[in-house]
Amino acid sequence: MSMLTSALLGLLQGLAEFLPVSSSGHLLLARLLLGIQTDSPAMKMLDILLHVGTLIPVLVVFWKDWMAMLAHPLRNKTLLLLFVASLPTLVIYVLAKKLFPDVDGFAVFDNGWFLGASFLMTAVFLLLCEARSRSSACRKSRPGIGSALIMGIFQGIGMIPGISRSGSTITGGVLSGMKKEAAAKFSFMMSAPAIVASLLMEGKDAISEGYVREIQLLPTLVGILVACVSGFLAIRFMLRIISRIPMTSFALYLALIGVAYLVMQLLGSPLLPAFELPVIAAG
């Protein structure tokens, strides 16, 4: 893989991880349009490492929050809430692995057959988020146990490529009565344990199966650096504008991409897989 391609993927990862448009969906779409094999071991490992690139700005932007949690782990409730929010995501991940072992759980979506529909689902989530955020019921400036659980469920749904993790979790927070800006901050912080868990689980498989050796060092480092810088800019941008810009703007963008993708599938584009459910032998 060239450094230019790796930089492009890193840029998409960094921006789309925190903008509510789905980083996994845009990475998959870019690989399909560029003719890059989407489900190879090397690509899966690259995805993990690009996510690590976006972990760094989360740690940097919210460093005061992380330091407060480490200094007072019992008194500070954020650490507990992040743990609570991670539980539904973990349960959904494990259930998917158990129900569909032949396709490794959510890997059933890895070839992109469902991507157009996923973009449209995210658009619907964002429309719900915007409608709910205008309600006087959305007053909470901090998450509670209920909000953390709901956002964790939405984060589990966001493991499907094309369904934005940040968009779905912000929607979950707003539906639970949180202000958009408060839900966005907690959503971004939720990405840290999710990325670390993914790195541990998927990285272990990469090492044991040996495909970590397929990673090209210099292009990968370039991709990680670009993901880090663009992720930092995306977080700062979203925190600044989320209370002022309607989520409908992002929803319109995703709806256009989703419809275009489905139309290309219906026309039989050679670049995209057909919209048909893969044969799954439930275990």
* pLDDT of res. 196: 87
- Each residue of 243-255: b (16+ CB within 10 Å) or e? eeebbeebbebbb
Contacts of 237 (CB under 8 A, 6+ apart): 18, 19
User: Which single residue is written with the structure tokens 């939720």?
Assistant: 190
Query: Which residues lie across from 178 on neighbouring strands?
Result: 140
The model's confidence at residue 283, banded by pLDDT at 50, 70 and 90, is: very low
Is 219:1 a contact under the CB 8 Å cutoff?
Answer: yes
pLDDT on residue 99: 79
Predicted confidence at residue 29, as pLDDT, reads 93
Q: Tell me how far apart the alpha carbons of residues 127 and 233 are, in angstroms, rounded to a whole number.
A: 24
Report for 2-6, 199-203, 275-279: range of highest mean pLDDT: 2-6
Give me the chain's average pLDDT, please: 87
Higher pLDDT pick, 75 / 90: 90
Tell me which of 14-18, 68-72, 129-133, 253-257 is least confident: 68-72
Q: Per residue in 46-79, pLDDT tens?
A: 888 888 899 999 999 999 999 998 888 778 889 9
DSSP type of residue 283:
-
Q: What is the pLDDT of residues 157-197, one digit of tens each?
A: 999 999 999 999 999 999 999 999 999 999 999 999 988 88
pLDDT at position 164: 95
The pLDDT of residue 279 is above 50: yes
User: Token pair for residue 196?
Assistant: 């670390």
Q: Residue 272 above 50 pLDDT?
A: yes
pLDDT at 282 over 60: no
The pair of three-digit structure tokens given for residue 202, joined into one six-digit string: 């998927």
> Over 80: is that where the pLDDT of 214 sits?
no
Sequence-separated (6 or more) residues with CB below 8 Å from residue 99:
105, 282, 283
